[in-house]
Amino acid sequence: MSNLEDREEDVSLLELKKKMADFAKERDWDRFHSPRNLLLALVGEVGELSEIFQWKGEVARGLPDWEDEEKQHLGEELSDVLLYLVRLSDICGVDLGKAALRKLEINANKYPVNLCKGSSKKHNQIINNSSSPTTNNSCSMKDDIFQSHDGV
């Protein structure tokens, strides 16, 4: 591997996808990388990621109270989750970058800024109240517009 500390350009999903495919092929692991197996491995890694935050309560952005070792461990577990997700999307034939951009568009339509800014309500909590002003930071939209999409 090259010295990653000196790297200046961003890492692309395509680069990660290729590196993961090469990694698996070199080790003859393709036969184990079924969608089900990769999903279960991903879930396991999400569990390990969750353990890092377990019992800490709320933590500040940037993790200012964390030790460098804790931050490094967090980076490793986040990376495991990302790498399994990239591999799973590759094996399933999903362009993860395009799917993520599409999902952002769906969510932008589901949660328009002018109606939902500052609200934590989910799309299924949106009130069908188009004639009265929005109060209490609640979104005001027709539910039938959004029934075909999943939430994030």
Tell me if 88 sits within 8 A of 38, measured CB to CB.
yes
pLDDT of res. 8: 77
Query: pLDDT value at position 5?
Result: 66
On whether residue 81 sits in a domain, the answer given is: yes
Domain count along the chain: 1
The 10s digit of each residue's pLDDT in 91-102 is: 999 999 999 999
What local confidence, expressed as pLDDT, does residue 103 receive? 97
Residue 35 belongs to domain with CATH number = 1.10.287.1080
Q: Is residue 143 part of a domain?
A: no
In-domain check, residue 28: yes
Token couple for 25? 């092929």
Give pLDDT, residue 143. Answer: 38
Give the pair of three-digit tokens for residue 52: 């890092």
Does residue 106 lie in a domain region?
yes
> Containing domain of residue 62, as a range?
13-118
Helix axes 96-110, 68-92, angle to 10 degrees: 100
Strand partners, 127: 140
Q: Are 34 and 91 contacting, i.e. CB atoms less than 8 angstroms apart?
A: yes
Q: Is residue 152 part of a domain?
A: no
* Neighbour-count burial for 107-140, b at 16+ CB within 10 Å, e otherwise: eeebbeeeebeebeeebeebbeeeeeebeeebbb
Any domain includes 57: yes
- Write down the pLDDT at residue 2: 56
Whole-angstrom distance, CA of residue 137 vs CA of residue 35: 40
Ranges of residues in the chain with a pLDDT under 50 are 1, 128-138, 140-151
In a domain? residue 61? yes
List the Cα angle 42/44/47 in 5-degree steps.
Answer: 110
Taking the whole predicted model, whether its pTM rises above 0.85 is answered as: no
Determine, yes or no, domain membership for 5: no
Handedness of CA 55, 57, 58, 63 (dihedral sign): negative
